[in-house]
Amino acid sequence: MKKTQVLITIFILILIIFPVFVTSHYFLSTLVFIAINSIAALGLFLLTGLAGQISLGQSAFFGIGAYVYAILTTKFNFPSLLTLLLLSPLGAGIMAAITGIPVLRFHGHILAVATLGLALVMYTIFVGMVSVTGGHAGISSIPHLSIGKVELNTDVHYYYLSWGLILLLLLISQNIIRSRVGRAAQSIHHILGGSEEAAMMLGINPMIYKLQMYILSAMYAGLAGGVYASYVTFVNPSPFNVLVSLMILVIIIVGGIGSMWGAVIGSVAVFLFRELMRFAIPIAFPTVGGEFEIIGWGILLIGMLLLAPGGLIQLPQHLYQKLSRKSRYK
Amino acid sequence: MEPFLKIDSVSKDFGGLRAVDRVSFDIERGSITSIIGPNGAGKTTIFNLITGLLRPSEGNIYFKNQKLNRLPTYRIVSMGISRTFQNLRLFTNLKVVENILVGRHLQGRANLLSIILRVPWVKIEERQNFEEAIKLINLFTLEGVAFSLTSSLPFGYQKRVAIARALATKPELLLLDEPAGGLTSQEIEEIKQVLIRVRESGVTIILVEHRMELVMDVSEKIIVLHHGRKLAEGTPKQIQEDQRVIDVYLGQI
Amino acid sequence: MATSLEAGLPLWLSLFLGVIIPVFAGVITYGVIHPVRNASIMTLILITFGIAFIIRGSALLAWGTDVRRYAPFLEGEPIIFFNILVPQQGLLILGVTMLTLISLFFFFQRTLSGKAMRACAIDRLGAQIVGIKPEYKNLISFIIASLLGSIEGIFMTPITMASYDIGLTIGIKAFIAALIGGLTNPVGVMLGGFLIGILEALSSGLISSLYKTAIVVAIFLIVLSFRRTGLLGEAETGKV
């Protein structure tokens, strides 16, 4: 435990002083996006990693958060701080509450398809309700976040905002994991070893905890969406399509589905992988356009699942076990 | 006065198969009762019916005068009934102490909001949970493995964790499904002592069991099931001398 | 299929290639899944997504983003059927579908191999005890699935055109159709397919082609809420 705490403290210190040394727009904005993705991925971790409910619907909640912020601040002049911190997550949460009740009765592949269907429907609504969302053209001139009189309009501002938020959420998530609620959620994770029947026999109503995790994860994604909208100042449906949901799932798998830090590690790893592909593919296949990188994602996904199912966070332990000469009981 | 637990002419059909056929019996508060019978006689089905994992096709089940038939399992548990499973169903993704802490779920009040806001009583409640869990760990001599994952434990230990977890719910009625299954005679002796202590603390116990050493020594009443029907009911001595039971169990005791 | 036709290859060869290559892909999918076939549902689903990505990317690589099509197999005047215009290709599709349905039905209900597959689906352990090898059956099911997919693609292209990204939407709808109809019953799956097709067409016409997806999903949720195993499916037998 001590070692982890030291690592985390070092990590936070590096985070704090980083912008002093690195001022390039490219680097800082990349880090902002990594943090935003981590928030959405952390939400998914609570639902899928902790409670074991597979969901391919995060893109929908991400989008709702973004559009709520966009619409309320541009068309109704809501204060940006209130909207971002409260109303974006709330909007996503409400949608989760409504869709969760029918959908969470399913398990496994049916649940996956159902959440995928919801994400698809949400995307269709983003595109279709042109009067509200602006359709494919989207909404522009979205105001940046302002705290009191201070407007956050630089990369550095958003760097501290987004990383501050993800650290806060990690803290909150840790509290939840180690609590009565967290234990109840883990007890029903039937893939990793929980059992809904055993949990019921201890007085737990599985539906309540599935729903709570579902709503919570949606709120995380909604918050991420709000930050995204206020940073980029422009939203249209394309960052909220179904493939994005899949990407978020890839992030927690690559990072490690057993730990909340997997969300952050996964976001960084996925970003690095994307850069690698952007660099390597034109060399290997000079005539090919952008979407070709999807093959890389396929290979990454399959590679991780087959070779290192515990994700990157398990990698040191995994390698240690493989290389260790001591025979073990298991 | 109404009995603590009343099984009233309960039947359960699975398609064409009648697993439980108009079974009736009463359980007195504070007693230890065993349900025995050959495999397939319907014993575990009765447990499933009492705890709400299955609904009776006919008949009624009453606990403290309340009808249990249509209630969901977690409601039944909150009324004071707890149970272990034949195949344990421990949470293998959690450590021993965490398994027991899940058992304390109903004794707690902490909810998502209070946890996120770090309200002070949450911490106090957690500490209390921990102390109670330690008591159970001591009762079942699990101190050495308290922080191990349950999947790495020998079977005898896992059995103890399962019973400890069920006890953590502070039940008034404890249903144990084959607690002695797979245990050595030594371990069965230990379980017997634990059961007596548990009963002394006021918990009513029903066992489904095959190991007669445990059944005959510890039960006040034995109910014999066969092909889903109640064959006999009585004290251990009466059952041992009952010709029908001897016929059915020929060579099995 | 389009490529080989354009290259001037005769129809029968193109048909053959159009079928054999997807089946080959199916076999490869089986090869990837086989080592981890006992892993969790989540892992399996994600692996198939991974493969889908790779195929999609390869399709992009091979054919770019163009849309391709070729002429329908039956040229000629559309037939008028109760005041509705039905293109001849449509009749061909109907015919092929019926034929496929009947052969599948026959396969699953009458042949030993088909019954063995159903046995695996219902109770894997029991099937192994009587000597059935589920791994082999898995392979066959992948082959059949890719076979059917390729047939569908071949016959649909003259009407809907082919491009690299039609896979995702069709895949999702196919899966939903199968779940609605009942995964364990081929008739049910067909029924589901018909239902979805009709639903889409109706909502396209009556409401808006945009919301047809939403309606399909809504119906999916409603049907599955009432009947967990789909309209015609059988429940899996659990432990008694």
* A95 contact residues in C (CB cutoff 8 A): none
pLDDT at position A96 = 94
Q: What is the mean pLDDT of chain A?
A: 86
* C50 contact residues in A (CB cutoff 8 A): 297-302, 305
CB contact under 8 A, C53 and A297: yes
Q: Please list the pLDDT of chain B residue by residue as tens digits (253 residues).
A: 578 999 999 999 888 888 889 999 999 999 999 999 887 778 889 999 999 999 999 999 999 989 998 899 999 999 999 999 988 899 988 999 999 999 999 998 888 888 988 889 999 999 999 999 999 999 888 888 889 888 889 888 899 999 999 999 999 999 999 998 888 888 888 888 889 989 998 999 999 988 888 888 899 999 999 888 888 899 988 888 888 888 877 555 4
On the CB side of B202, CA atoms within 13 Å amount to 4
Contacts of B233 (CB under 8 A, 6+ apart): B25, B221, B222, B223, B224
CB contact under 8 A, B73 and A187: no
pLDDT at position A194 = 83
pLDDT at position C221 = 77
> Residue A291: which of C47, C50, C60 has the nearest Cβ?
C60
Paired tokens of B6: 């009343």
Contacts of A244 (CB under 8 A, 6+ apart): A58, A59, A62
Pairing of strands B81-83, C84-86: unpaired
pLDDT at position A140 = 84
C125–B contact, CB cutoff 8 A:
no
Number of domains in chain A: 1
| Beta strand spans in chain A (E) | 139-140, 146-147, 150-151, 234-235
B19–C contact, CB cutoff 8 A:
yes
Backbone conformation region of residue A193, classed left if phi is above 0, alpha if psi is from -120 to 50, else beta: left
Render C6-51 in DSSP notation, one character per residue: HTT--HHHHHHHHHHHHHHHHHHHHHHHGGGTTS-HHHHHHHHHHH
In this structure, is residue A180 part of a structural domain?
yes
ipTM of predicted complex: 0.87
In this structure, is residue A230 part of a structural domain?
yes
Residue of C nearest to A242 (CA): C168
- Chain A to chain C, count of Cβ pairs less than 8 Å apart? 120
Binned at pLDDT 50, 70 and 90, residue C236 comes out as: very low
C22, pLDDT greater than 90: no
Q: What average pLDDT does this structure show over A178-198?
A: 89
C235–A contact, CB cutoff 8 A:
no
A33 within 8 A of A41, measured Cβ to Cβ: no
C4, pLDDT greater than 90: no
Contacts of C76 (CB under 8 A, 6+ apart): C88
C237, pLDDT greater than 50: no
* C60 contact residues in A (CB cutoff 8 A): 288-289, 291-292, 294
Q: What average pLDDT does this structure show over C72-87?
A: 60
**Cα angle: A7, vertex A12, A18; to 5 degrees:** 120
Whole-prediction pTM value? 0.85
* B98 contact residues in A (CB cutoff 8 A): 183, 186
Give chains near C: 3+ CB pairs under 8 A.
A, B
pLDDT at position A5 = 82
C67 within 8 A of C163, measured Cβ to Cβ: yes
pLDDT at position C163 = 55
* Least-confidence region, from A56-70, A149-163, A165-179, C166-180: C166-180
In terms of residue numbers, what domain contains A56?
22-240
C240 to chain B nearest CA, in Å? 8
CB contact under 8 A, C213 and A120: yes
Residue of A nearest to B109 (CA): A180
Report the distance separating Cα C177 and Cα C224, nearest Å. 11
C62–A contact, CB cutoff 8 A:
no
* B53 contact residues in A (CB cutoff 8 A): 197, 200
A127–C contact, CB cutoff 8 A:
yes
| B210: phi then psi, degrees, rounded to nearest 5 | -105, -30
Q: What average pLDDT does this structure show over A309-313?
A: 80
Where are the domains positioned within chain C? Answer: 2-163, 165-233
C102–A contact, CB cutoff 8 A:
no
Q: What average pLDDT does this structure show over A294-320?
A: 79
A242 within 8 A of A59, measured Cβ to Cβ: yes
Binned at pLDDT 50, 70 and 90, residue A201 comes out as: very high
C42–A contact, CB cutoff 8 A:
yes
Tell me which range, A5-19, A258-272, C85-99, is most confidently predicted by mean pLDDT. Answer: A258-272
In this structure, is residue A102 part of a structural domain?
yes
A75 within 8 A of A237, measured Cβ to Cβ: no
Q: What average pLDDT does this structure show over C130-149?
A: 71
Which helix (H) or strand (E) segment is C79 a member of?
strand C79-81
B14–C contact, CB cutoff 8 A:
yes
Paired tokens of A239: 């960052």
| B114: phi then psi, degrees, rounded to nearest 5 | -65, -25
Contacts of A200 (CB under 8 A, 6+ apart): A206, B52, B53, B72, B73, B74, B77
* B14 contact residues in C (CB cutoff 8 A): 240
C35–A contact, CB cutoff 8 A:
yes
A269 to chain C nearest CA, in Å? 17
Pairing of strands C79-81, C84-86: antiparallel
pLDDT at position A264 = 93
In this structure, is residue A75 part of a structural domain?
yes
C167-224 pLDDT, tens digit each: 666 666 777 777 776 666 666 677 777 777 777 777 666 666 666 777 777 777 777 7
Contacts of A322 (CB under 8 A, 6+ apart): none
Q: Between C161 and A38, where is the model more confident?
A: A38
C228 to chain A nearest CA, in Å? 8
CB contact under 8 A, A205 and B98: no
Burial B174-202 (b: 16+ CB within 10 A, else e): bbbbbbbbebeeebbeebbebbeebbeee
Residue of C nearest to A130 (CA): C210
Taken in order B145, B149, B153, B159, the sign of the CA dihedral is positive
Residue of C nearest to A296 (CA): C54
- Residue whose entry in the numeric block shows the structure tokens 């354009």: C6
% of chain C exceeding 90 in pLDDT: 0
Paired tokens of A139: 């909404």
Report the distance separating Cα C136 and Cα C133, nearest Å. 6
Report the distance separating Cα C4 and Cα A287, nearest Å. 22
In this structure, is residue A271 part of a structural domain?
no
Contacts of B126 (CB under 8 A, 6+ apart): A179, A180, B110
A181–C contact, CB cutoff 8 A:
no
Strand partners, C72: none
C37, pLDDT greater than 90: no
